């Protein structure tokens, strides 16, 4: 009765075999590598790029031992850090002939040193969290009210254009809080405006308001659906923008994910220069094109502290003051590309902008109507604006190709282009959580977590083998199998392993031994009651099963609650804890039983079990 | 080798009232400390910035404090962390500061202090909005654990068992928190995880005893309820001690080798394990008795069980 059918033994053997294979990559450690990924959204990376990379390495005589192509990147494995740096230079030179406008990101990375056949079957080492490998973690919150306000400002501009096109006369359009207020002199114009607006957009709800003043008012608010769309768009746009910006940082494996309705997690493994990372992330720069108020006397009045209504005072690059109208002609949303370059005639450094269709139309109209006047291009960062340049409009500019030039160095042109190209954020963001872990602490954490688990395991192993003899050894083997399967599962799922995760691993092992203690105690008890050894094994396992199931389910309930509500370190703990409970059920019951069956099940006559001394009440010892 | 050579069932239930009074007093003490001194919550819950740096040799803390004071952080806490070479700086959130930049300014200030330059070990910045959420998420997780365990035990056993198990183990949680309040140990997210894990773990303990109680009720019809409980506890006591001993070995190893980061995590587990043994055996069982458990309640489950086996 203590024999498993062959298929069961084979099945358990197979599980252990796969466990072993998927655990293997963790033992190989890591080797230096160079990772190439696309630096532009329009540029797709494919295996065709492998040839020039190999060529570049051959030309530079850098030995490499493996080149891997996956969906988003190509990685080259190298023998030493010295070769890594040389390879990076060689590849960089080959792929990015123009360093000011890199098409590809060439970054230093680490790759698993495991053999290629393991990588081919997706047996990868565990994915280490930032607290173990070092790096920066940011949690950013998108300012959704800001996104709505911004959209309303743009809408107010659109409404002005619309009413002008439809020949509807109004007495002013302004945004007040979360609504746009349109004023009219008479009811006929208001009706005409209402019809025109309702024909052109479904995003606005219109309400009449007559509050006794001379003007008739129409109040436009965004519909809930439109607001939701704006929110969704804002977070998607910001994620895309962050992707572009982080690409410029050249981080090998960045993580950029939405969390909840209005938050974005950014993880930059290996990045130590937090200041630079924050600088690039935190640049909530948006581009705005506005007209300059050049009316005589206005600037003087503004400088005297009396800024005329509808204008704002800014300082131009170079220090001279400039009066700019509040009304926004165009925002960075309309921008599709920005490239540094040179002015065709003067050979001055310049930035070439490309606008989308709507932007091109607006730009053409504005430039046509304002020839001879100045227009200001502003970068708005954290609510503060800076006039990048304020050129004079010489002629109508159509076709959506705009050039910004004047008082810029080549570096500045590059910076401005980069900032604009990286895309403007749909809404400002704020860092609400930051976690930086230095590389030395990461290595320490791994060592500490590993040592805790190792010594705890040894202590348990010594005790169990001493106390339960052969059955103790079986329990320890089952526990080791549990660890193996847990590591294999974590590697297979590529779940993030953090220090609390390692702690959970240790704790799970400490708790998992419970199942074997229960079984062994039951078997002893049966023997004490005078049951034959074979029957004792059978009933011992049978009876213990219910208890093991119950107690594991209660532990699992706690684990799942942590998984659902936990964030950050707690989640890392919960994932390992939950997986560990599952693997421990398998190993403590099935694997230990298989071993016991193999040892005792085949014998015809078993006199005694090696489970330590069985003390029987009544027989004094 | 066998540790437990028990000839007769130990009459635990005779002292049920004593145990309950002891736990009640401990519980009240824990509540008292929680109410008077409160928990020393970590940056994760309160919001703020934490910077950990390491120096090549032990630095003087006073110049660091002064430099931070000059830099505009009079409320900075500077202390050693783990060893004399490691320094931990805590800064509360303030409305007038650009919170995103605090960590860099702190590092810059530290570098300006005379002496060897520090190496950055870690920075944690938590905005005020996150802290509140974490606290409420923690509370939600606790509620979910309680609800899940009560429902599961009520289905698997009986509502009396469910209620006693959860009361006994919540009493553990309060006592762990009481320890943290009394010693003013830092209560961080990993500690919260440890507390919840302990909750699930010590319910185990009650489950094992209850399993025995159910079995004994079915098998031995001549015993009274307290005798059944005594028998169940006595026959599982060896397993209880060995299991918890093994888990504690692991936790002890974490306490010894895990470093400062895992220290309080392991501490919470240690207290949880020790009180878990006590409460699930000596608090939960008397509670089951007071709640009036009796053999009749297991007539039905017995039939079901037999069918299940067939």
CATH number at residue A394: 3.30.1360.200
Average pLDDT over residues A317-323: 76
User: What are the strands of the beta sheet with A349-355, ordered from one edge?
Assistant: A335-342, A349-355, A401-405
A299 and A406 share one domain: yes
Closest by alpha carbon to A102, among A110, A113, A93? A93
* Least CB–CB distance from B193: residue in A463, A562, A613: A562
**Interface subset of B 116-175, CB within 8 angstroms of A:** 119-127, 129-130, 134, 137-138, 140-142, 144-145, 148-149, 152-153, 156
* Sign of the alpha-carbon dihedral angle for B202, B204, B205, B209: positive
Same domain, A294 and A389: yes
| Confidence grade of residue A491 (pLDDT, cut at 50, 70, 90) | very high
Q: Which residues pair with A435 in a beta bridge?
A: A137, B124
Distance CA B302, CA B305 (A): 5
Contact A452 B124 (CB under 8 A): no
Q: Which of residues 57-96 of B touch A (CB under 8 A)?
A: none
Q: What is the pLDDT of residue A519?
A: 92
Domain of residue A209, CATH code: 3.30.1360
Q: Are residues A310 and A413 in the same domain?
A: yes
How many beta carbons lie within 10 A of that of residue A179, not counting itself? Answer: 16
| Contact across the interface for B148 and A560, Cβ inside 8 Å | yes
Q: Which value, to the nearest 10 degrees, does the dihedral of the CA atoms of residues B243, B246, B250, B256 take?
A: 130
Judge if A52 and A90 occupy the same domain.
Answer: yes
Contact of A589 with B176, CB cutoff 8 Å: no
pLDDT band at A40 (very low <50, low <70, confident <90, very high): low
Report the pLDDT value the prediction gives residue A619, as an integer from 0 to 100: 47
Confidence class for position A142, pLDDT limits 50, 70, 90: confident
Sign (positive or negative) of CA dihedral A513, A514, A519, A522: positive
Do A53 and A18 share a structural domain?
Answer: no
More confident residue, A309 or A53: A53
- Closest residue in chain B to residue A518, using alpha carbons only: B239
* Residues of A whose CB is below 8 A from B261: 445, 448, 499
pLDDT tens profile A205-249: 888 887 766 778 888 888 899 888 888 877 887 887 787 777 766
Residue A618 lies in a domain: no
CATH fold of B12-41+130-309 reads Multidrug efflux transporter AcrB transmembrane fold (1.20.1640)
Q: Which residues are CB-contacts of B3 (< 8 A; sequence separation ≥ 6)? A: B238, B241, B242
The residue of chain B nearest to residue A562, with distances taken between CA atoms, is B141
| Residue where a domain terminates, one of A388, A415, A432 | A432
What's the whole-number mean pLDDT along residues A55-61?
A: 87
Structure confidence at residue A474 (pLDDT): 94
Of the candidates B140, B152, B253, which has its C-beta nearest A557's C-beta? B152
- Residue A216 φ then ψ, to 5°: -90, 140
Residue B194 CA to its chain's centroid (Å): 5
Residues of B in contact with A500 (CB under 8 A): 189-190, 193, 265
Co-location of A384 and A443 in the same domain = no
Assess whether A323 and A287 both reside in one domain.
yes
Could you tell me the fold of the domain covering B48-126? Alpha-Beta Plaits (3.30.70)
Would you state the pLDDT for residue A1?
Answer: 66
Q: Does B186 touch chain A (CB under 8 A)?
A: no
Residues 6+ apart with CB under 8 A from A562: A570, A571, A573, A574, A577, B141, B193, B196, B197
Angle between helices A569-585 and A439-493 (to 10 degrees): 40
Neighbours of B297 (CB within 10 A): 16
The answer to whether position A274 is within a domain reads: no
**In angstroms, what is the C-alpha Rg of chain A?**
34
Q: CB-CB: which of B123, B137, B247 is closest to A565?
A: B137
Strand order in A179-184's β-sheet?
A: A173-176, A179-184, A216-222, A204-209
Residue closest to A576 by CA, chosen among A595, A597, A593, A562 = A562
Residue with the bigger pLDDT between A282 and A19: it is: A19
> Using CA atoms, how far apart are residues B278 and B172, in angstroms rounded to an integer?
9
A331-356 in b/e form (b: 16+ CB < 10 A) is bbbbbebbbbbeeeeeeebbbbbbbe
Residues 6+ apart with CB under 8 A from A342: A348, A349, A350
Residue A10 forms part of a structural domain: yes
Pairing of strands A127-128, A496-497: parallel
pLDDT number for residue A592:
92
Q: Select from A226, A246, A262 the last residue of a domain.
A: A226
Residue A477 DSSP class: H
Give the count of Cβ contacts less than 8 A between chain A and B: 248
Percentage of residues in chain A having pLDDT higher than 90: 16
- Interface probe for B, chosen from A271, A554, A619, A620 (most Cβ of B below 10 Å), is A554
Q: Do A44 and A10 share a structural domain?
A: no
- Asked if the Cβ–Cβ distance from B262 to A448 is below 8 Å, we say yes
* Percent of chain A residues past pLDDT 70, beyond the cut: 91
**A25 to each of A70, A75, A124, A125, how far by Cα in Å?**
18, 17, 6, 5
Is the Cβ–Cβ distance between A278 and A289 less than 8 Å? Answer: no
pLDDT at res. A465? 93
| Residue of B100, B203, B251 with shortest CB distance to A282 | B100
Q: What is the CATH number of the domain that holds A37?
A: 3.30.70.260
Torsion of CA A561, A562, A566, A568, to 10 degrees: -160
Residue A257, Cβ density class (10 Å: 0-12 exposed, 13-18 middle, ≥19 buried): exposed
Q: What is the pLDDT of residue A164?
A: 81
User: Are A19 and A50 members of one domain?
Assistant: no
Do A514 and A464 lie in a common domain? Answer: yes
Number of domains chain A contains: 4
Q: Computed from CA positions of residues A208, A212, A216, A218, in that sequence, does the dihedral angle turn out positive or negative?
A: negative
Query: A44 and A101: one domain?
Result: yes
A559 to B197: CB separation less than 8 angstroms, yes or no: yes
CB contact under 8 A, A441 and B130: no
Write down the mean pLDDT value for chain A: 82
Is A155 a domain residue?
yes
Q: What CATH number did the domain enclosing A561 receive?
A: 1.20.1640.10
- Nearest in space to B121 (alpha carbons), one of B54, B184, B27, B75: B54
Q: Do A566 and B52 touch (CB under 8 A)?
A: no
Residue A561 lies in a domain: yes
CB contact under 8 A, A438 and B145: no
The minimal CB distance from B141 to the residues A431, A504, A566 is found for A566
Q: What count of Cα atoms within 13 Å lies in the side-chain half-sphere of residue A364? A: 12
Q: Domain range spanning residue A87?
A: 32-113
Residue-level pLDDT at B303? 45
Using CB atoms, pick whichever of B99, B125, B190 lies closest to residue A500: B190
Name the B residues in 97-126 with CB < 8 Å from any A CB. 99-101, 103-104, 119-126
> Best interface-test mutation with B: which of A507, A512, A621 has the largest number of B CBs within 10 A?
A507
- Kind of pairing, strands B186-187 and B40-41? parallel
CATH 1.20.1640.10 residue spans of chain B:
12-41+130-309
pLDDT value for A284: 54
> Residue B243: its chain A contacts at CB < 8 A?
513-514, 517-518
Give chain A positions within 8 Å (CB) of B120: 272, 436, 438
- Report if residue A426 sits inside a domain: yes
Label residue A162 by pLDDT band (50, 70, 90): confident
Query: Measured between beta carbons, which residues in chain B are less than 8 angstroms from residue A614?
Result: 2
Same domain, A367 and A481: no
- Cα gap A49→A180, rounded to integer Å: 52
Low-confidence ranges of chain B (pLDDT < 50): 301-310
């Amino acid at each position: 009765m203590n024999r498993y059918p062959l298929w069961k033994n084979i099945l358990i053997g197979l599980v252990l075999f796969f466990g072993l294979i998927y655990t293997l990559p963790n033992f190989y450690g890591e080797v230096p590598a160079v990772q190439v990924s696309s630096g532009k959204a329009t540029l797709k990376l494919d295996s065709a790029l492998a040839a020039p990379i190999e060529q570049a390495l051959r030309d530079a005589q850098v030995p490499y031992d493996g080149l891997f192509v996956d969906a988003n990147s190509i990685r080259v494995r190298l023998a030493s850090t010295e070769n890594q740096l040389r390879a990076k230079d060689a590849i960089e030179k080959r792929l990015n002939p123009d360093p000011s406008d890199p098409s590809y990101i060439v970054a230093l990375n680490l790759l698993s040193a495991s053999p290629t056949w393991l990588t081919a079957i997706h047996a990868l080492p565990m994915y280490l969290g930032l607290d173990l490998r070092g790096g920066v973690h940011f949690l950013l919150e998108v300012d959704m009210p800001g996104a709505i306000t911004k959209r309303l400002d743009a809408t107010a501009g659109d409404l002005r254009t619309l009413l002008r096109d439809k020949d509807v006369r109004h007495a002013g359009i302004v945004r007040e809080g979360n609504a746009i207020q349109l004023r009219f002199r008479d009811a006929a114009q208001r009706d005409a405006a209402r019809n025109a607006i309702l024909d052109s957009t479904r995003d606005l709800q219109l309400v009449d308001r007559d509050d006794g003043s001379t003007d008739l008012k129409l109040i436009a608010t965004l519909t809930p659906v439109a607001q939701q769309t704006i929110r969704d768009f804002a977070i998607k746009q910001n994620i895309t923008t962050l992707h572009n910006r982080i690409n410029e940082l050249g981080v090998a494996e960045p993580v950029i994910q939405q969390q909840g309705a209005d938050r974005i997690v950014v993880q930059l493994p290996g990045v130590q220069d937090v200041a630079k990372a924050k600088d690039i992330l935190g640049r909530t720069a948006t581009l705005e094109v506005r007209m300059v108020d050049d009316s005589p006397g206005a600037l003087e009045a503004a400088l005297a502290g009396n800024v005329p209504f509808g204008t704002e005072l800014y300082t131009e690059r170079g220090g001279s003051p400039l009066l700019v109208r509040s009304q926004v002609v165009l925002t960075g949303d309309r921008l599709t590309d920005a490239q540094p370059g040179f002015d065709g005639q003067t050979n001055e450094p310049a930035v070439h902008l490309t606008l989308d269709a709507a932007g091109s139309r607006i730009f053409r109209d504005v430039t046509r109507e304002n020839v001879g006047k100045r227009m200001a291009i502003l970068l708005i960062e954290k609510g503060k604006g800076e006039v990048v340049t304020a050129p004079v409009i010489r002629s109508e500019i159509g076709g959506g190709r705009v050039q910004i030039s004047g008082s810029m160095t080549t570096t500045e042109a590059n910076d401005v282009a980069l900032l604009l190209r990286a895309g403007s954020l749909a809404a400002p963001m704020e860092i609400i959580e930051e976690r930086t872990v230095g590389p030395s602490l990461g290595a320490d954490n791994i060592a500490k977590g590993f040592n805790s688990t190792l010594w705890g395991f040894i202590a348990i192993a010594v005790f169990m083998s001493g106390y339960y003899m052969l059955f103790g050894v079986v329990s320890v083997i089952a526990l080791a199998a549990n660890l193996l399967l847990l590591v294999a599962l974590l590697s297979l799922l590529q779940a993030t392993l953090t220090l609390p995760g390692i702690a959970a691993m240790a704790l799970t092992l400490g708790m998992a031994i419970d199942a074997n203690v229960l079984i062994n105690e039951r078997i002893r008890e049966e023997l004490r009651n005078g049951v034959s050894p074979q029957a004792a094994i059978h009933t011992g396992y049978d009876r213990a099963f219910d208890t093991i199931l119950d107690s594991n389910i209660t532990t699992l309930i706690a684990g799942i609650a942590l998984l659902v509500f936990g964030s950050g370190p707690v989640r890392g703990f919960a994932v390992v804890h939950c997986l560990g409970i599952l693997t421990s059920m398998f190993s403590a019951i099935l694997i230990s039983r298989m071993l016991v069956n193999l040892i005792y099940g085949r014998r015809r006559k078993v006199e005694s079990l090696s489970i330590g001394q069985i003390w029987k009440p009544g027989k004094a010892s | 080798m066998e540790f437990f050579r028990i000839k007769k069932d130990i009459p635990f239930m005779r002292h049920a009232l004593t145990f309950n009074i002891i736990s009640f007093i401990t519980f009240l003490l824990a509540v008292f400390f929680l109410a008077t001194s409160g928990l020393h919550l970590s940056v994760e819950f309160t919001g703020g910035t934490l910077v950990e740096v390491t120096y090549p040799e032990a630095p003087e803390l006073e110049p660091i404090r002064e430099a931070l004071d000059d830099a505009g952080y009079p409320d900075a806490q500077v202390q050693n962390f783990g060893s004399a070479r490691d320094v931990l700086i805590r800064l509360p959130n303030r409305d007038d500061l650009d919170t995103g930049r605090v960590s860099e300014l702190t590092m810059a200030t530290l570098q300006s202090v005379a002496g060897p330059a520090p190496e950055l070990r870690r920075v944690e910045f938590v905005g005020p909005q996150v802290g509140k959420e974490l606290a409420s998420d923690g509370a939600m997780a606790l509620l979910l654990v309680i609800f899940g365990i009560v429902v599961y035990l009520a289905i698997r056993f009986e509502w009396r068992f469910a209620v006693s198990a959860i009361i006994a183990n919540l009493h553990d949680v309060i006592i762990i928190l009481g320890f943290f309040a009394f010693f003013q140990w830092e209560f961080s997210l990993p500690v919260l995880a440890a507390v919840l894990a302990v909750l699930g773990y010590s319910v185990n303990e009650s489950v094992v005893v209850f399993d025995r109680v159910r079995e004994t009720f079915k098998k031995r019809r001549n015993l009274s309820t307290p005798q059944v409980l005594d028998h169940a506890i006595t026959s599982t006591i060896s397993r209880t001690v060995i299991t918890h001993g093994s888990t504690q070995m692991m936790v002890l190893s974490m306490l010894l080798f895990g470093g400062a980061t895992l220290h309080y995590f392991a501490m919470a587990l240690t207290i949880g394990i020790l009180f878990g043994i006590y409460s699930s055996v000596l608090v939960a069982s008397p509670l089951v008795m007071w709640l009036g458990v009796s053999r009749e309640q297991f007539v039905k489950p017995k039939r079901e069980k037999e069918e299940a086996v067939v």
